[in-house]
Structure 1
Amino acid sequence: MKSRNDSVRMKRFQIEEKRRQIGQIEAMVEEFRRMVGDLDLEIAAEHRRTGIDDPKHFAYSTFARAATQRRANLQNSINDLQEKMERAQAGFDTAMAELKRDEERLERDSGADRAVG
């Protein structure tokens, strides 16, 4: 009985850890999206300032080129984080299912102990 209680406690701890991990990833994704939006605004402003928005043009702004590269890197990071979040969500779902199963076993065992005792 005690080992099942310990198992349930451990599953709850794992679930809280997964929930925290998912929250951190979501916060990072939102921050990166905000940064991408800021870079979009800066790139558009640079295009207006220089009058050149073709990256292949010989006089294309170095700042706009660098900001475009940073934007692409952030977008790649967002994609990677979303994959990581999907894996974390799958782990969370698995842990929830295991917790439910363990709690049901604990209740069943407790009910059997009360019926016997």
Structure 2
Amino acid sequence: MKARETALKLKRFEMDERARKVGDLEQMIREFETIAGDLDRQIQAEEDRTGIKDPKHFSYSTFAKSAALRRDNLRASIAGLRGKLEAAQSDFDTAKQQLARFTTDQPRELSRPRRRHERTGGLSLR
């Protein structure tokens, strides 16, 4: 029975680790989206301050250009993290299914003595 308990703890640990990974990725995506939104507001404020909204204009704000570049990089990172999140969510779902399957399986240790008992016609071999 001890081996089964150890295996069950391992399955729970694996599921918990995958759940933590999903949560971490979701948190990172939220933080990156918040930062990208802040950069959008800063770019808008800079464009309003200078009066130049065209990034191709020769006197467009360098601050607005660099903030737009950072925002675009964050959005690319968000897209990459969403792909990783989907994979992590799939791994978590698989681990959850494995744990559920493992916990509903009948313990092997209990079924073996019964078989032995049935084979001997009720006589104990011990």
User: Structure 1-normalised TM-score?
Assistant: 0.89
- Alignment partner, residue 66 of structure 2: 66
- 1:52-84: per-residue Cα shift (whole Å, max 9, x none)? 111111111101100000000000111111111
What is the identity, as a one-letter code, of the residue corresponding to 2:107? D
SS in 2 for 1:37: helix
- 1:10-60: per-residue Cα shift (whole Å, max 9, x none)? 110011111111111111111111101100100000110111111111111
Which structure's CA Rg is the greater one? 2
Gaps of 5+ in 1: none
**How many residue pairs were aligned?**
115
SS in 2 for 1:59: coil
- Alignment partner, residue 27 of structure 1: 27
Cα distance in structure 2, aligned partners of 1:78 and 1:85: 10
8 A contact 1:54–1:60 mirrored in 2? yes
| Deviation, structure 1 residue 110 | 6.7
Cα distance in structure 1, aligned partners of 2:99 and 2:5: 11
- Alignment partner, residue 16 of structure 2: 16
Cα distance in structure 2, aligned partners of 1:99 and 1:16: 11
Give the percent of matched residue pairs that are identical in Structure 1 and Structure 2.
46
- Alignment partner, residue 124 of structure 2: none
| Deviation, structure 1 residue 111 | 9.5
**Superposition pairs of residues 73-84 of structure 1, within 5 angstroms:** 73-84=73-84
Cα distance in structure 1, aligned partners of 2:103 and 2:36: 44
CA RMSD of aligned residues (A): 2.1
Gaps of 5+ in 2: 118-126
Cα distance in structure 2, aligned partners of 1:75 and 1:67: 12
Higher relative contact order (CA 8 A, sep 6+): 1
Structure 1: 4+ residue segments shifted above 6 A: none
What is the identity, as a one-letter code, of the residue corresponding to 1:53? K
- Alignment partner, residue 97 of structure 2: 97
